[in-house]
Amino acid sequence: MKNLRKNESEIMKGLIKLTKCKTFKNKLYALGLILLGIISAVLLEGDITVLIFVSLIAIPLFFSKDNWIV
């Protein structure tokens, strides 16, 4: 039980550190764009063209070290 609480506190510290990250908005928007592409692929009966074009923007946005979202 003690180890479980220790792991929970480490997870919370990690989440707090992630939200304080200067590129957190970039990561949030990138995940949203990828999710939008996946949803559109499902709605368009398996056509992943939108997902490919959105991924061209979302993947570099996720891994960038500078803020792209102001």
The pTM for the full model equals 0.70
% residues pLDDT > 90 (the chain)? 50
| Tokens linked to 55 | 């991924």
Residue 55: what pLDDT?
A: 96
Average confidence score pLDDT of the chain: 85
- Domain range list for the chain: 22-70
Please enumerate in sequence order all residues whose Cβ is within 8 A of that of 37, keeping only pairs 6 or more positions apart, or say none: 48, 50, 51, 52, 53, 54, 55, 58
% residues pLDDT > 70 (the chain)? 83
